[in-house]
Amino acid sequence: MSFLRITMLLGTLTGILLVIGFLLGGPVGTTLALLLAIIINFISYWFSDRIVLRMYGAKPLDDKGMDEMVAKLAHEAKVPKPRLYVVQSDVPNAFATGRNPQRSAVAVTTGIMKLDKDEMEGVIAHEISHIKNRDILISAMAAAIGGAIAYIAQIGYWASMSGDRRDKGGGLSLLLIVIFAPMAALLIRLAISRSEEYHADRTAALITKNPGGLASALRKISSHVSEHPMKHGSTATSHMWIVNPFRGDWFTGMFSTHPPIEKRIERLEEMHM
């Protein structure tokens, strides 16, 4: 995990909040925004994984077969066995989170249980690969920070629409808050490199020695998501899932942290074990 990337992530959040604070309240607003940024930075670093798990109502999964599979794949990857959680959703998907390999977790949806054994192993191995490659901290932090900025932008919207703000340059403030802040959140999510997904796919294939299992799983998950996207949850967490579970359009596609599914499948099918 790059210390520089984490520093830039936290620095960007602080800068965005200071701008919003100044637009809404001048010097006093800037001071309050700075205090808020310090609090959010602290919470997102230490508790971002818990925030994301609670966001989706994830509960510990008590399933002997899944537990044995996770233990086996973690052993192959030479990382501690992550905690296993389940999210109630018919949309097949999974994500990994945690501050480090020693405090990691893998969450799967109830819908993903319909995959066959090879496909499920591919998915779990992909998430364990993120843990092994130490992608999970900045991924969870980006989710927490992106959600916070989106929420603060909503507050800014209603504040700008009330009182005298509409008559005192509130239009410009509204434009900057409602457009700039969410776009900045998307740019923060781009701190999650697309290359990390390719790397996790490749690492998973090496762990399972079966790239076809993950390729098949990606094909099924993508097909289901395109027809039945997830309706609950925050798009600020879309980069955490093995496949973006939310409905996409041309604009959000430009900011996607996931490489095209076709490219991921193609690379996996080119691997020979």
Active site (catalytic) residues = 127
Phi, psi for 95 (deg, rounded to 5): -150, 160
Buried b (16+ CB within 10 A) or exposed e, 103-124: ebbbbbbebbeebeeebbbbbb
- Rounded distance, CA 55 to CA 52, Å? 5
Token pair listed for 174: 């509204």
Cβ atoms 226, 260 nearer than 8 A: no
DSSP run (H or E) holding 34 = helix 3-55
Nearest CA to 86 out of 106, 107, 68 is that of 107
Buried b (16+ CB within 10 A) or exposed e, 72-87: bbbebbebebbbbbbb
- Looking up tokens 């993120």, which residue turns up? 130
What dihedral angle (degrees, nearest 10) is formed by the CA atoms of 232, 186, 242, 143? Answer: -70
CB atoms within 10 A of CB 29: 18
Cβ atoms 107, 56 nearer than 8 A: yes
